[in-house]
Amino acid sequence: MHSSNPVKKTKSKTSIVQKFVDKFKKKKRGKSPSTSTASREKSAERSKGKRVSRSNSKSKLSAQSSKNELAEVTAKAYKKETKEKKQTKKKESAERSASNEQSSKVVTLTKSPSLIGLRSAESQMDAFIQKEKVERGTKCWMEQLEKIDLKSTLDKEFQQVERMKVEANKCTAFEKNSDLCQSDNTELLDANRVKNGDAADFFYHGSIITIPNIPMKVIIAQLPLRENPQSLEAFWLMVAANKIQRLYVLFGADEMDKKEQSEYFPEDFVEHTTIRVNSRKVLLRSDDQINDQLFYEVVPKDCAEAPFAMIEICDFWHDAKIPTQTARAAATAASVFESEIDPDATSGVVSKFGAGRAGSFVVSAAAIEKLRAGEAPNIKDIMVAVRGQRPGAVETFPQYIFAYVIALTYSLKHVTNPLKAKIEKMIGVLEQFAFEKQTEEDEEDSATTAED
């Protein structure tokens, strides 16, 4: 309807112009025949060639006609173009709507638990597989433990470990540097002692421990001597040279106050002769975090790299005792052989003497790693491997028992009933053995102290 109106108006204007032209021609025909004939001939000749307008009015009329025709064509073209644009816009709008709808779905899915689960499917699958492996390993282990007389068997195992002796000629560096050690009674083997690259004069009381079928190494070491700058510096050089990215410091809650702790682990920074230690971050213990964590940048002199080390404050294990918080000890031990940053990194476990509780903690961590592999851990074999590389590791029978207790406690979150109930009962029996033996040892120590 709307497209026909402009065309009609154009035709009416053209008819008026045509009438005017016809009238003008009639006036010219009224002249002499000869003139008319000549005029027609000239007109015919001109019509053969290019027609040139001689009249301004005619040019205006012709231009007007052209404008009208152009307007008609332009109007049609404009309407066509407008229609096409509308269709294009409509199509684009529809596409955008579809895209927005799809994006909306994606956003919704991104925030939905199902997609989050999908994105972490691999890690969840790994966790599921690990859970199955731990349950399988624990089940096999429990079947073995249920067949034996626990107390007598474990006592015999520990007696065999305790009879392991150390040859003095294999501890020459320890003999030369005893003034840099916490005690003369905790030997250090030359074969696997920690070093600082090729520095021949370096010494620190720490051992590199390798456990069969566990790729990652762990270092068991003493705390440095607070009053000795050389010992403190050697401690941090050990951390940097051996890429210790996690260092677990075991002590009792009342064994070290904050001031003493800051002398070992500075709250700001400390500058030694060959190494600088900068405190970068502190994460305090909370409901979501089982231990205080201190993060340090450890920068040896003339070293392009600045290794980071995390110190984990494990104030749940007194010297010569058993842990006061078993679940916390189990959760902490489970992270010893994990490396999230560098596959060449090591973990370190430190206590005052780097012996009894440190050894028990490492044995329990290795037992947990065996469970994760779906295997039943052999605590005695692990203990022999650790004690053979670190003299004095696991000093008391209760500490030996708690290597079992800690690993079994870890397994509880990966198993279901009726196995879980059996494990809880087994843990209760083992704890009772440990508490009884610990009480006997404490009474003996008290009697000895009274005699002295």
- DSSP assignment of 306-374: --EEEEEEETTB-TTS-BS-HHHHHHHHTTTT--SS-TT-EEEEEESSSSHHHHHHHHHHHHHHHHHTT
Query: How much is the pLDDT for 22?
Result: 55
The per-residue pLDDT for range 171-208, each reduced to its tens digit, is 999 999 999 999 999 999 999 999 999 999 999 999 99
Q: Any idea what DSSP says for residue 273?
A: S
**pLDDT-derived band at 53, boundaries 50, 70, 90:** very low
CB 209 within 8 A of CB 390: yes
Residue 80 burial (10 A CB sphere; 0-12, 13-18, 19+): exposed
Report the pLDDT value the prediction gives residue 128, as an integer from 0 to 100.
84
Q: Cβ neighbours of residue 59 under 8 Å, at least 6 residues apart?
A: 53
Can you give the pLDDT at residue 4?
42
**Residue in 240, 167, 175 with CA at minimum distance from that of residue 205:** 175
Q: What kind of fold does domain 129-451 have according to CATH?
A: Protein-Tyrosine Phosphatase; Chain A (3.90.190)
Long-range CB contacts for residues 443-451, cutoff 8 Å, separation at least 24:
none
Token pair, residue 373, equals 């592999």
Cα–Cα dist 183/78, whole Å: 99
Cis amide prior to 418 (ω within 30 degrees): yes
Q: Where are the extended beta strands (E) located within 139-226?
A: 206-209, 218-222
Q: How far apart are CA 330 and CA 328, in angstroms?
A: 5
Tokens of 42: 């000239």
Contact 176, 157 (CB under 8 A): no
Q: What are phi and psi of 340, to 5 degrees?
A: -95, -15
Q: What are phi and psi of 297, to 5 degrees?
A: -100, 120
Q: Are 391 and 384 in contact (CB under 8 A)?
A: no
Give the separation between CA 160 and CA 355, rounded to whole angstroms.
17
What's the N-to-C CA distance of the chain in angstroms? 122
Write the CA distances from 313 to 153, 154, 290, 364, integer angstroms. 34, 30, 9, 18
Q: Are the C-beta atoms of residues 415 and 408 closer than 8 Å to each other? A: no
Q: Residues for the chain: how many in total?
A: 452
Task: Give me the chain's average pLDDT, please.
Answer: 82
CA nearest neighbour of 322 among 409, 386, 385, 258: 409
What is the arithmetic mean of pLDDT over 81-106?
54
Q: What is the tens place of the pLDDT at every residue in 306-360?
A: 889 999 999 999 999 999 999 999 999 999 998 665 778 899 999 999 999 999 9
> What integer is the mean pLDDT of 54-81?
47
236-273: pLDDT as tens digits: 999 999 999 999 999 999 999 999 999 999 999 999 99
Mean pLDDT of the region 66-86: 51
Distance CA 423, CA 411 (A): 8
The reported pLDDT for the residue numbered 105 is 38
224, pLDDT greater than 90: yes
pTM: 0.73
**Euclidean distance between CA atoms 430 and 155, whole angstroms:** 12
Please give the Cα distance from 439 to 434 (Å, whole number): 9
Q: How far apart are CA 340 and CA 50, in angstroms?
A: 90
pLDDT at residue 124 is higher than 90: no
Q: What is the pLDDT of residue 345?
A: 87
Look at 26-30, 182-186, 328-332, 431-435 and tell me which has the smallest mean pLDDT. Answer: 26-30
Residue boundaries of the structural domains of the chain: 1-20+61-112, 129-451
